Amino acid sequence: MTYSLLLAHPASRTLAVATASFSLAVGKAVPAVLPGIGAVVSQAYTNTRLRGPLLRMLESGQHPAAALAKLAILDTDPARRQVGLLAADGSHAAHTGTDCSDWAGHRSAPGILVIGNLLTGPDVVDGMLASLTTSPLVTSALVSGADAAAHDIARRAVSALRTGLAAGGDRRGQQSSALQVAAGGRDSDWPPALTVDLRVDDHGHPLDELDRMLDLKFGA
């Protein structure tokens, strides 16, 4: 139903999460970020209420794997959930329930987690991971100051979603996308102050629209 990525760049204290789906308003239900703490996606048969407790566990110092080990306590039907959790230091963990629609799974590297379900195949997440690991972060010439890393990570995230789409993406097609980027130190306020918080809720080409919105945010 959805493919997503979570990124941490500890050197710039930047976190990002991006997602795309053939579902209405994926950005409302799937991603969440707490600046300086971590990022989470809750997808498949989505339980939106998982995101807050999991991020609070990261805030309390728990490793993502330890937090996800408590999923059965937080959720009455974990077999239908797919969850990715990434801490600001780059550590991560993932859960794909046995009742998630094929193809479903994840791939990871230091500071990177890509995860999806109801995909055309593993090539989707394999391609996304390759896109992220072969395009190192560079300081953008287009944006200066504190927003430079956020801009670069935002562009990399959308590019990786495009790679996933080119590999097949969501088996049903495309409808919505979202991108959240947090830069700076720990901030547990809710709603969080995000550097980028963009949603495409219903569009025939949601990644094109997300790119257009990034151009408006940072300048083409």
Per DSSP, 100 falls in state S
Q: What does the angle CA 33 – CA 51 – CA 158 come to, to the nearest 5 degrees?
A: 45
What CATH number does residue 89 fall under?
3.60.20.10
Query: What pLDDT, in 10s, does the model give residues 75-98?
Result: 999 999 999 999 999 999 999 999
Residue 104 has pLDDT above 90, yes or no: yes
Torsion of CA 58, 199, 166, 5, to 10 degrees: 0
Give long-range contacts, CB 8 A cutoff, 24+ apart: 189-196.
Answer: 190/52, 192/33, 192/34, 192/35, 193/35, 194/33, 194/35, 195/14, 195/147, 195/150, 196/16, 196/150, 196/154
Residue 5 has pLDDT above 90, yes or no: yes
Residues 6+ away with beta carbon under 8 Å from 74: 49, 50, 53, 54
Model pLDDT, residue 119: 96
Range of the domain at 156: 2-218
Model pLDDT, residue 12: 86
- Give percent above pLDDT 70 in the chain: 94
Model pLDDT, residue 146: 56
Residue 214 in tokens = 């990034």
CB 15 within 8 A of CB 164: no
Q: Which residues pair with 24 in a beta bridge?
A: none
Structural domains of the chain, count: 1
SS3 (DSSP) at 5 = strand
Higher pLDDT: 195 or 219? It is: 195
10-14, 34-38, 49-53, 187-191: range with lowest mean pLDDT? 187-191
Model pLDDT, residue 141: 37
Q: What is the mean pLDDT of the chain?
A: 91
Give pTM, 2 decimals: 0.92
pLDDT confidence band for 139 (50 / 70 / 90): very low
Query: What pLDDT, in 10s, does the model give residues 32-56?
Result: 999 999 999 999 999 999 999 999 9
Residue 147 in tokens = 């927003």
Integer angstrom CA distances of residue 9 from 31, 45, 90, 164, 182 = 18, 29, 7, 21, 10
